[in-house]
Amino acid sequence: MAAKVVGTVKQIVRDHKRDPGDLIGILQDIQAKYRYLPREALDEVSKSLKVPINRIYALSTFFRAFYLEPRGKHDCVVCTGTACHVRGAGRIVDELSRLLHCEPGGTSPDKLFSLDTVNCLGACALGPVVTVDGNIHGKITARSVRRIIQKYEKPEGKKKDEAKKRRGSKRAKAKSTRKARSK
């Protein structure tokens, strides 16, 4: 994997015209590709741009948007702003931590979810609010959290298979109805 990461990073750096002034943009592109900043990627950026690795780590750790550890497939964010807090955001965070087996700022052991908190999502009227991959879920309770998580736990293939089954059963039902009418 390291060789593949290095090749990808070299292309990203070329896309930014090897400009050290584009360091944040380069890091954003790397994170968009891998959902975090792999160590070998940062080493290659340092080498390609001739920027000290400590400067790259300083930027990577200063901005909360960058992650040095692998992230889950789904980003789960709980608003803990005042409106959500007084409506039970703490209980939501506790329940999500229990269900996902990780604390805020962490990733579930199965690498399916990353859990974070933010001070405000700007949807105060819907509080408490949870977003999963940017999809807003409002008026959440500790009980409703499980349903939200289960919705995202299903593999994409399984969702497609279920949809095909539903379509197939509708077609079979329509076909049998037509046969019954023709008799």
Where do the domains of the chain lie? 2-62, 74-155
What topology does CATH give the domain 74-155?
Glutaredoxin (3.40.30)
pLDDT score of 101 more than 50: yes
pLDDT interval class at 26 (50, 70, 90)? very high
Range of weakest confidence among 26-35, 46-55, 58-67, 158-167:
158-167
80 to 58, 88, 133, 154: CA distances (angstroms):
27, 9, 17, 27
User: What is the reported pLDDT for 2?
Assistant: 83
Reported confidence tier of residue 161, pLDDT bands at 50, 70, 90? low
pLDDT grade for 154, boundaries at 50, 70 and 90: confident
Would you say residue 91 has pLDDT above 80?
A: yes
Supply the pLDDT for residue 103.
97
Q: What is the rounded radius of gyration, in angstroms, for the C-alpha atoms of the chain?
A: 23
For residues 51 and 19, what is the distance between their CA atoms, to the nearest angstrom? 10
Q: Determine the pLDDT at residue 163.
A: 42
Mean of the per-residue pLDDT values of the chain = 88
More confident site: 116 or 172: 116
More confident: 63 or 178: 63
What percent of the chain lies above the pLDDT cut of 90?
A: 79
In the structure, what pLDDT confidence band is assigned to residue 167 with cuts at 50, 70 and 90? Answer: very low
pTM (2 d.p.) = 0.73
pLDDT tens-digit profile of 122-144? 999 999 999 999 999 999 998 99
pLDDT recorded at residue 3: 84
In the chain, pLDDT over 70 holds for what percent of residues? 84
